[in-house]
């Protein structure tokens, strides 16, 4: 039965309405609440307290009926796949496209394992079996890898990647991935072969991964499944979330991996080579990424108005990302703390001055074809936002040209952070510079760099508090026994 709790406000009396709609796995009542405030009369005052309390009980009963009706409207025989569709369709409107894309990917395996079961029938054993299946599953579906004939065909026909993408109805990122030997979907490969009017097996070879899903991916599946089942519990389809019944040992965990970054000497070599790089786009973008530590989307989201040479800083306030069906779009940075101001080394603004002159010439030469609306630093030939994978291509081209050890674009961010740690930058200051939501993320991800800093701190203390000469070099035990 519904209940009420009186709330004495500063200007008015309110009541918390409490509706009960079932029990959890421990036998405790499940409840929902909302606040009701009695309206004031013509005299500007609320009714007498006894009348308010009587009406509050009526409101609480109506509220409980609404809550129970919401649960009753859901079919208790509903299959899990049906419920996931209902859950997905009612996600908040502000859910990012990237998050929706990830949910869609994760739900493929979740529904393949549990989709035909009734929601109410899913139990702890099903969750345990699903996790075991995930840990032995191969990464993704079979994919295509381009053969030499693919690049030879494009060169022979003088077809650009963007032109082929438009003809085949795929994104330029897909063509770029195929060009550089990365895997693409079977569907994309078939589209490309069809438009080139060549047998698909002449252009692509089927690749099947023997690698299992990572611990992190298994964890993502588990978290999403638990989220959906918790929603089903709140909707009254189940009394408990079976994911919560797993022991601590059974719950999937993502293993912590330290970041891969360049050494001090490697970073210096790259900077030296970049100043000799003839492609000003490659030179500027990689230097800016290395010296700012910004994420790829943040780098490509930089506009000229975000560059403040007078103050020696850049402003991170937006990012770009590719979204299927929409192309490159402007989004907010990764989290609230990602909006930030980064102080930059002085030489980077001389680099940006040269790049601005080249950029302005590009805009002038394009005339009416120029389509830039944001003043982005890094754009396509016609001023449109740069596809994110193009930056990856620039990095790869720079590596191949200089016969360097391979590194990813994100390794530039890791390198920036590790260099800052080595220079003794305070952890909170570094958190602000990098836009991490939590300082603990830095401590976990860059543990090796912090350990090196701790050794340097110990050596510095040794230099400052060096013992008498007679004790220098003695083993600690002998020192204590002396």
- All structural domains of the chain with their residue ranges: 3-72, 80-138+213-245, 143-207, 264-419, 450-482
Q: If you classify domain 80-138+213-245 with CATH, what class do you get?
A: mainly alpha
Residue-level length of the chain? 482
DSSP 244: G
- 431 to each of 296, 335, 417, 425, 438, how far by Cα in Å? 18, 13, 9, 10, 7
Q: Which residues contact 76 (CB under 8 A, 6 or more apart)?
A: 120, 237
Q: Which residues contact 249 (CB under 8 A, 6 or more apart)?
A: none
Supply the pLDDT for residue 25. 43
Angle, CA 396 vertex, CA 391 and CA 401 arms, to 5° = 125
Say if residue 23's pLDDT is above 60.
no
The neighbouring-strand residues paired with 432 are none
Helix (H) or strand (E) holding 144: strand 143-146
Architecture of domain 264-419: Orthogonal Bundle (1.10)
- Give the CA-trace dihedral at 349, 354, 358, 361, to 10 degrees: 100
Residue 149, classified by CB atoms within 10 Å of its CB into exposed (0-12), middle (13-18) or buried (19+), is: middle
* Nearest-angstrom CA–CA distance, 408 and 180: 14
Instruction: Name the band, by pLDDT with cuts 50, 70 and 90, for residue 46.
Output: confident
Residue 258 phi, psi (nearest 5): -75, 150
Closest residue by Cα to residue 314 from 293, 297, 335: 293
pLDDT tens sequence across 110-138: 998 999 899 999 999 999 999 999 988 77
pLDDT tens sequence across 184-240: 888 889 999 999 999 888 999 888 777 788 899 999 999 999 999 999 988 888 888
* Nearest-angstrom CA–CA distance, 304 and 362: 15
Which residue in this structure is represented by tokens 């930089």? 302
Say if residue 180's pLDDT is above 90.
no
* Nearest-angstrom CA–CA distance, 341 and 292: 10
Superfamily of domain 143-207: lambda repressor-like DNA-binding domains (1.10.260.40)
Angle, CA 99 vertex, CA 341 and CA 413 arms, to 5° = 35
- DSSP string computed for 5-35: EEEE-SS-EEEEEEEEEEE-TTSPEEEEEEE
Mean pLDDT, rounded, of the chain = 85
Q: Which residue has the higher pLDDT, 69 or 476?
A: 69
Say if residue 275's pLDDT is above 90.
yes
Supply the pLDDT for residue 467. 61
């Amino acid at each position: 039965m519904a209940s009420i709790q009186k709330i004495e406000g500063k200007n008015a009396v309110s009541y918390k309405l409490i509706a009960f709609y079932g029990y959890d796995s421990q036998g405790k009542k499940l409840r929902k609440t909302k606040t009701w405030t009695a309206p004031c009369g013509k005299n500007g005052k609320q009714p007498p307290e006894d009348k308010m309390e009587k009406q509050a009980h009526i409101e609480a009963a109506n509220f409980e009926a609404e809550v129970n009706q919401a649960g009753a409207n859901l079919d208790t025989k509903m299959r899990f796949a049906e419920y996931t569709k209902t859950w997905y369709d009612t996600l908040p409107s502000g859910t990012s496209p990237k998050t929706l894309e990830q949910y869609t990917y994760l739900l493929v395996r979740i529904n393949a394992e549990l989709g035909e079961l009734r929601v109410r029938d899913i139990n702890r054993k099903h969750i345990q079996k699903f996790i075991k299946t995930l840990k032995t599953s191969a990464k993704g579906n079979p994919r295509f890898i381009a053969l030499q004939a693919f690049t030879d065909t494009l060169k022979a026909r003088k077809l650009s990647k963007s032109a082929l993408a438009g003809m085949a109805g795929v994104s330029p990122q897909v063509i770029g991935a195929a060009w550089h030997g990365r895997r693409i979907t079977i569907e994309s490969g078939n589209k490309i072969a069809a438009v080139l009017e060549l047998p698909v097996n002449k252009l692509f070879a089927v690749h099947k991964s023997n690698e299992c899903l990572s611990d992190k991916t298994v964890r993502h599946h588990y978290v999403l499944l638990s989220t959906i089942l918790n929603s089903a519990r709140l909707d009254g389809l189940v009394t408990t979330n079976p994911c919560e019944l797993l022991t601590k040992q059974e719950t999937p965990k993502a293993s912590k991996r330290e970041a891969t970054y360049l050494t001090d000497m490697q970073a210096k070599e790259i900077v030296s080579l970049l100043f000799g790089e003839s492609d000003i786009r490659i030179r500027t973008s990689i230097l800016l990424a290395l010296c700012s530590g910004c994420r790829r989307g943040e780098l490509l989201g930089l506009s000229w108005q975000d560059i403040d040479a007078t103050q020696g800083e850049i402003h991170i306030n937006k990012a770009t990302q590719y979204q299927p069906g929409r192309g490159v779009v402007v989004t907010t940075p990764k989290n609230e703390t990602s909006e930030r101001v980064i102080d930059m080394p002085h030489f980077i603004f001389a680099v940006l001055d040269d790049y601005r002159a080249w950029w302005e010439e590009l805009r002038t030469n394009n005339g009416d074809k120029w389509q830039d609306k944001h003043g982005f630093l890094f754009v396509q030939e016609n001023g449109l936002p740069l596809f994110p994978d193009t930056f990856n291509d620039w990095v790869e081209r720079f590596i191949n040209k200089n016969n360097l050890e391979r590194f990813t674009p994100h390794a530039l961010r890791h390198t920036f952070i590790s260099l800052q740690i080595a220079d003794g930058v305070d952890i909170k200051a570094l958190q602000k510079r990098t836009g991490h939501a939590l300082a603990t993320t830095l401590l976990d991800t860059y543990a090796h760099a912090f350990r090196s800093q701790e050794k340097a701190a110990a050596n510095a203390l040794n230099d400052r508090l060096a013992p008498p000469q007679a004790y220098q070099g003695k083993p600690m035990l002998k020192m204590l026994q002396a």
